[in-house]
Each structure stands twice: as C-alpha cells, then as structure tokens.
Structure 1
Amino acid sequence: MTYFARHIGATVHNDLLVIPDYLGQGYIRKLSFGPDFKITIHRYLLKEDLIIKRNTSGQGNDLITAFFYSNEQALAIAYNEDHQILFSQRDESAIQVTSNDLSSTIRFPAHQQIHYVVVAIKPPRLGELLAVSEPNSVLQTIIGNGNSFLFFERMEAEAKLLLKNMGALDMNDPLSHFYMQIKVQELLYLVFHKLALRENAAHQTINSADAERLLYIRNEIISDLSVPPVIRELAQVAAMSETKLKQLFKQTFGTTIYNFYQQARMEEAAFLLKQGKHSVGEVGYELGFSNLSHFSRLFEKHYGLNPKRYSYS
C-alpha cells in the first residue's frame, strides 16, 4: 500500500490511503491482526482504469492470499500481461486463493464502483485457525511448505453480505478492529469450508503459464454456451495433454470441465429468464437445447423450480 501511495502521489495515515480527487474517490484500508495476518479493504470509484500487478516473491508460499471480489462488473485478470481474461461476470463473483509465487495482473474498470478484500496470511497462522486434524489434500497443499497453488471458488450470498457489512463499518467505533477480526475469520471459514469439501487428489504443481492457460480455457467454455466443450480441442488450445488439462482444471475450479460448462449454462439460463425478455423456448434453444423437456429437467435440478416458474419467482 505504501508503494501504491507513492506511485499516485498520496500518503498513508493510520493504515488508510484516501484516493486523491484527481484519480477518483474512495479509499484503501489495511488492518493487521499480527505480523502474519493482514487484510486490505478496497472501496473506490476511479476516473481511469486501475492495473494492479503482483510479482512473484520467489519464496514459495510463504504467504497465502485470498482475494474476494464481489462486484457485478467484470474485471480482467491475467497471469500473462498479453492476455487478460474477463472474470467475475454477472453473479459469478470471484474468490481466488493463491500462493504468492504466481505473478498476476488485474485490471479494474474506470467509472465503476470497486469493492474487494484481500486477506494475506502465513501458512502456520492459517493452520492454527483452521485446526483441522485430518485436512484433505487441498488444505494440506495450502498450509504445507513450498507448494504453488491456485484455487477459485464461487461467492455465495453469505460471503457477499459479510463483505458488505465489513465495508460499511464505522472504523471510529472503538471495537471496530475486534469486529473486523471476527468477520475476516468468518470469511475465511466460508471459503475454506468449501475447499475442505473438495475431493482428495494428488496436487499438481501449477505455475503462472498454467494459470493463464486455465483462465483462457474457462473463457473459451463460457464464450459460447450453446456448444459443449470438446476436451481434445481445448487441450490443443491449452498446449497441454488432455489428462493434465482435466486434472488442473478440476483442481483449480473444483469441478470437471463439463460440470463447469453445465453450471455456467444454467446460470446463463437463469439470468435470461429473470430478464423477462425471452420465453423458456427461446432461452433453451439459445443455449443449445434441442429438447426443451431435457432443458426443463436440468434447470429444475439446479434451481428447484422449472424454468417457467423460476421466471415468475
């Protein structure tokens, strides 16, 4: 935060950086819960795009970063400066948990409200907080020594509400620091609870190039939801073997490529139905369903209501 303040010609006072008027409005606030556990809260609206680059520390996972982005507007994230991929579109808010040996670039759009939280914690402290006697392979990788990892999770309503409450807190309240420490731990509970439910599997080492390819493949999958993904073609695009692509994709996103596609397909259907501008048939056909009965059954399996009832709910 000190480096960023120097770059934009601002000052940090009591771990608070107020965005200068010529750049926009808002703030970045840092809170420390000891030397091995910190968060930064970003809330601002900028007049120009903001690009944040995080360079590898070169020290393995001596620090774990959990990034919570809850805006509906898309942000562009990249692990290769030449290829930025839109992420966190519509309601698919992004939770990213990564070791700090992966370089990344995130572009935040101008003239849009930006709200996100970054939690930085060292593996031993996280291990103490989680206090899991038999961690699954994902948690073992995260709290272990020297592992490179990248995991994405969806953000549910409970996490979005926590972030909203954290951003609205009056920091002049004498117990605000105590409140924030509790809420950040709640936030970590929500994401690590989901990661703890993932299947046990041998961890595949990941680097910045792999991460970039995986985000590109994700983008390919959702770019045309009327066409099912073909693993062979995606593997060629990613310059990976089919086996490596399937393993790394499931490890990073917590589900198979096809299940990810089906989930995105149903979310797109729900979005279109809620707009009220398309009939059930139009939505089904747009998403590649030739059999509307099959579309209705699949949609009801995901949302508990058939498409027609959902559109009126």
Structure 2
Amino acid sequence: MHRVFNAYFDSMLLPQQQTADPVIMGKAQVASEREISRMITASGIEIVESDLYMRKDCRVEVQSSAAMAELSFCMQGSGAVEVSGHDKHELVQGSCSLQLIRDFTASFEYEGGKAFRSVAIGLPVNLFDHYSGGFGKKDSLGFTALLRSKSFRMFRKPVDSVTTRLLHELMNCPYTHGMRELYVESKALELIYRYLEIFLLELNSSGRQPSLVSRTDQSKIYEARDVLLCRMDSPPSLLELARLVGLNDYKLKVGFKEAYGKSVYAYLRDRRMEKAWELLNGGMSVSQAAGLVGYVNFSHFALAFRKQFGFNPSELSNWRSAKQ
C-alpha cells in the first residue's frame, strides 16, 4: 500500500526525510511554503496531511501496481482526479471520499494560485477487509467484491461537525513521539469507523437513487457552497444565491440536499459553528468569534454552538486557557 503514496510523492518531486515523529516531506517544486507530513502506524495505517499552495496549475501523474483503500478529506481548495480512464472526479471542499484502487494510473489536477489542504488515511487491503467484515458479509463488502473487475471505485459524502472536530484534533496533536502516534491513530480509527459505517451500510441497503441534478448543475451547487463559505458573516438569501450561480431555487434546494445531506442553511449553520470552534480554539474571544461567523445576537450564537457541540462556547475558551 505504501508504494501508492511513494509514487505520488515521487511525482510531486518531494524528498522524504525519516524522523522519529511523522515523516515531514520537503516542499514540492510546484508548491510554495507548504508541507506534507506522513505517518505510518504500527498497524500499517498511513496518515498523510497535505498543506499545499500551487504557484501555477499543476498535474501530477501517478502509476502503481499496488492496492489500497483510502479515506480522503478535502478541507480547503479544489481539484480533480482521473483514474485509469474513468470519469474525472472533482476534489470537493468539505467532502470525504472512500477510494478503492489497484493496479492503476492516475492524474491529479490542482489549480494554481490557490491553497489545498487535505487529510488522507490509507488502509492496507487486509485491514480494510478485516474492518469491513463488521458491517456485513465479507464476500459482498470486501475490497475485491466492491471493486469487482475495476481498478478504481469512489464513494463520497459531505463531512459533518463531528468529522471536522476529529480532523482538527488529528491535525493538532498535543503529543510527540510514541504518544503522538497513538493519539493520531486513535483519531484516524474514529474517522475510519464513521465513514465505513456510512458507506458500507448504505451499500448493504436498497439500491441507490439516481441523481436529480445534472453534472453541470452539480458544479453550480459546489459554486453555491463556495459563495456561502466566503460570505459566512453576511450570507445571501436563497433566491439571491440561486441567481448568483445560475440555478432556480428549486434546483438549488434539491441539489444541495443531495450533495451535502442537508438544506442550504443547515449546512451554513454547521460550517459557521465549525469556524467558530477554530477561532475559539485559536484564542479568539467568544464575542469576536460570534461576529466573524455572522451572529449579532450572542445568545443565539451560544445556543447554536451548544446545540452543535454539547457545551457553551465559553467552556471551550476556558478549557483552552486552562491548558496554557
């Protein structure tokens, strides 16, 4: 499995430097002032955090005869990947994809002048089969059964607030050396469990409903999401948002729910709370964080935060202060 990541890093022209902590990759020739960190745990799970800024449009070609399952979380930016002649898949901010690959060629495309952040969790095939066996029959949910004769298969879902918190904890580990590996792997295992349950139980259920929106309209749905995130402090109305991206409000509502599993403004509320968590965890006051995510009424903000995370925003600030 690790040969797949090696091939990707080789194509990115990233030198590898082995350390006691995660391997810290050098900066790519196509990137600027960003890094990729890589951890391989004792169980064989590989965890890769990428934080890149492409100077110009970049295409990375990868070829490998190895096989693996990968959970990939796109946290910032966008791109595309085409594997072994299959349809091109967009790398969508705020999404998680489960990818099964073997004996493949892949082409990754990244847009110049933009940041790209992601977390990838690679699973050896035998470990994927071991875990997937807990969700149904191995002969139907195992790696080979899911891929059949293909070299690539992808499943994708939007991330939720719990996932965002787990990713934040994984990327901001407070420990070093052996304790770091234990902590990071525990967060990775939580993410693996969450998304194997989501993807595999869905496969075990009745047939999948066809998409209600066209591929062109799907790209407009992604654009609508980007507008919401850019204007989080002062979002447009539903009608204005639909007009901005060139859809009618019905298609926007239906397509957004299909893509992200919730309504436009339920999604916006979740993203606001996740941003507030980051701001508070970074040392910002509760009132400042509330204002930056678009809340004028502090009590409304506190109620939404408590509903999302189960405790008040002031408790997070106090907890952070106590740690320092």
Q: For this structure pair, what is the TM-score category when the shorter chain's length is used for normalisation?
A: 0.5 to 0.7
In the alignment, the residues of structure 2 paired with residue 143 and residue 171 of structure 1 have an alpha-carbon distance, to the nearest angstrom, of 39
TM-score by length of 1: 0.59
In the alignment, the residues of structure 2 paired with residue 82 and residue 152 of structure 1 have an alpha-carbon distance, to the nearest angstrom, of 14
Q: Does 1:153 align with 2:156?
A: yes
Structure with larger RCO (C-alpha < 8 A, sep 6+): 1
In the alignment, the residues of structure 2 paired with residue 201 and residue 136 of structure 1 have an alpha-carbon distance, to the nearest angstrom, of 15
C-alpha contact (below 8 Å) 2:132/2:138 kept by paired residues: no
Offset of residue 302 of structure 1 = 4.8
In the alignment, the residues of structure 1 paired with residue 12 and residue 225 of structure 2 have an alpha-carbon distance, to the nearest angstrom, of 43
Match of 1:287 in 2: 247
C-alpha contact (below 8 Å) 1:64/1:99 kept by paired residues: yes
Match of 1:191 in 2: 195
C-alpha contact (below 8 Å) 1:141/1:147 kept by paired residues: no
C-alpha contact (below 8 Å) 1:5/1:11 kept by paired residues: no
Match of 1:10 in 2: 15
Describe the shift of the 1:84–1:162 C-alpha distance in structure 2 as closer, same or farther (beyond 3 A): same
C-alpha contact (below 8 Å) 1:2/1:12 kept by paired residues: no
Offset of residue 32 of structure 1 = 1.7
Residues 228-260 of structure 1 deviation map (CA, whole Å, 9 limit, x = unaligned): xxxxxxxxxxxxxxxxxxx9xx5xxxx422278
Match of 1:220 in 2: none
In the alignment, the residues of structure 1 paired with residue 11 and residue 203 of structure 2 have an alpha-carbon distance, to the nearest angstrom, of 44
Q: 1:127 aligns with which of 122, 126, 129?
A: 129
C-alpha contact (below 8 Å) 2:39/2:46 kept by paired residues: yes
In the alignment, the residues of structure 2 paired with residue 171 and residue 47 of structure 1 have an alpha-carbon distance, to the nearest angstrom, of 33
Q: Does 1:33 align with 2:38?
A: no
SS at match of 1:287: coil
Structure having the higher helix fraction is 2
Residues 126-177 of structure 1 deviation map (CA, whole Å, 9 limit, x = unaligned): 2333451634886235677965341222222322332222222256354100
The alignment yields a C-alpha RMSD, in angstroms, of 4.8
Match of 2:179 in 1: 175
| % identical equivalent positions | 12
Describe the shift of the 1:24–1:88 C-alpha distance in structure 2 as closer, same or farther (beyond 3 A): same
In the alignment, the residues of structure 2 paired with residue 161 and residue 16 of structure 1 have an alpha-carbon distance, to the nearest angstrom, of 23
Q: Structure 2: which amino acid aligns with 1:303?
A: S
C-alpha contact (below 8 Å) 1:63/1:100 kept by paired residues: yes
In the alignment, the residues of structure 2 paired with residue 10 and residue 256 of structure 1 have an alpha-carbon distance, to the nearest angstrom, of 44
Residue range with higher mean Cα deviation, 142-151 or 46-55: 142-151
C-alpha contact (below 8 Å) 2:12/2:28 kept by paired residues: no
SS at match of 1:63: strand
Match of 1:162 in 2: 166
Describe the shift of the 1:173–1:144 C-alpha distance in structure 2 as closer, same or farther (beyond 3 A): same
Match of 1:51 in 2: 59
1:214-233 mapped onto 2 (5 Å cutoff): none
Match of 1:205 in 2: none
Match of 2:116 in 1: 114
C-alpha contact (below 8 Å) 1:66/1:98 kept by paired residues: no
Describe the shift of the 1:138–1:278 C-alpha distance in structure 2 as closer, same or farther (beyond 3 A): farther
Q: Does 1:96 align with 2:111?
A: no
Describe the shift of the 1:304–1:269 C-alpha distance in structure 2 as closer, same or farther (beyond 3 A): closer
Match of 1:24 in 2: 32
Describe the shift of the 1:83–1:184 C-alpha distance in structure 2 as closer, same or farther (beyond 3 A): closer
Describe the shift of the 1:65–1:101 C-alpha distance in structure 2 as closer, same or farther (beyond 3 A): farther
Describe the shift of the 1:270–1:100 C-alpha distance in structure 2 as closer, same or farther (beyond 3 A): closer
Count of matched residue positions in the alignment of Structure 1 and Structure 2: 251
SS at match of 2:188: helix
SS at match of 1:104: strand
Offset of residue 75 of structure 1 = 1.0
SS at match of 2:170: helix
Residues 83-138 of structure 1 deviation map (CA, whole Å, 9 limit, x = unaligned): 8664315x4x2413222234321122334332222222222222333451634886
Describe the shift of the 1:188–1:74 C-alpha distance in structure 2 as closer, same or farther (beyond 3 A): same
C-alpha contact (below 8 Å) 1:138/1:196 kept by paired residues: no
Q: 1:69 aligns with which of 48, 71, 74?
A: 74
Which ranges of 4 or more aligned residues in structure 1 deviate by more than 4 Å? 20-23, 80-86, 141-147, 263-286
In the alignment, the residues of structure 1 paired with residue 41 and residue 189 of structure 2 have an alpha-carbon distance, to the nearest angstrom, of 11
C-alpha contact (below 8 Å) 2:14/2:27 kept by paired residues: no
C-alpha contact (below 8 Å) 2:60/2:108 kept by paired residues: yes
